[in-house]
């Protein structure tokens, strides 16, 4: 594996590499029930939406061959109760070949820097307790605090 060298804003042509990352068996297992082309089309459509305005950012980590080895997506939410926008990190995934090499931390650092530049009030994310990243304390080691007084709720619409 080549060493990831560059973190940059995502481009639509990154959809293929992002698709490969999220289709790894331990990342989003439900994707195994659809074709690679279906996943790639969905990733491309959602990536295009994120690239359409600056309320979303997707950053990729690209190695020296041009291959995307990880990415992070953040969405800037204008909460009325905070002095600045809150960033919601919706996705952070690193290719299995690049895990454990500090790439996830580098991607988070880019988001933190952008939050500071935007005058952000805070960043938040959800990390499932069953995920390897939670079990090894990835986010707490990076300085994030788990909220013991809050629950995460979802309302499935599909």
- Domain boundaries defined on the chain: 4-141
At 117 the pLDDT is: 97
pLDDT band at 108 (very low <50, low <70, confident <90, very high): very high
> Which residues neighbour 60 within 8 Å (Cβ) at sequence distance 6 or greater?
7, 8, 9, 10, 14, 17, 18, 68, 70, 71
Strand 68-77 and strand 86-94: the pairing is: antiparallel
Distance between CA atoms of 73 and 148, rounded to whole angstroms?
A: 24
Write phi, then psi, for 23 (nearest 5 degrees): -90, 0
CATH class of the region 4-141: alpha beta
At 110 the pLDDT is: 97
17-41 pLDDT per residue, tens: 999 999 999 899 999 999 999 999 9
Asked if the model's pLDDT at residue 4 lies above 70, the reply is: no
Q: Please, what is the Cα angle at 52 between 71 and 113, to 5 degrees?
A: 45
Predicted structure pTM score: 0.92
């Amino acid at each position: 594996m080549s060493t990831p060298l560059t973190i940059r804003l995502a481009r639509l042509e990154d959809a293929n590499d992002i698709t490969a990352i999220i289709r790894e068996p331990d990342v989003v297992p439900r994707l195994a029930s659809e074709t690679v082309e279906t996943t790639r089309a969905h990733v491309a459509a959602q990536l295009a939406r994120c690239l359409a305005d600056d309320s979303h950012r997707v950053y990729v980590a690209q190695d020296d061959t041009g291959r995307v080895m990880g990415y992070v997506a953040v969405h800037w939410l204008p909460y009325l109760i905070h002095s600045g926008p809150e960033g919601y990190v919706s996705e952070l995934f690193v290719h299995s070949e690049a895990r454990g090499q500090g790439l996830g931390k580098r991607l988070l650092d880019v988001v933190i820097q952008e939050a500071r530049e935007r005058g952000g009030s805070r960043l938040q994310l959800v990390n499932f307790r069953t995920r390897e990243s939670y079990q090894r304390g990835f986010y707490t080691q990076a300085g994030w605090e788990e909220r013991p007084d809050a629950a995460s709720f979802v309302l499935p619409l599909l």
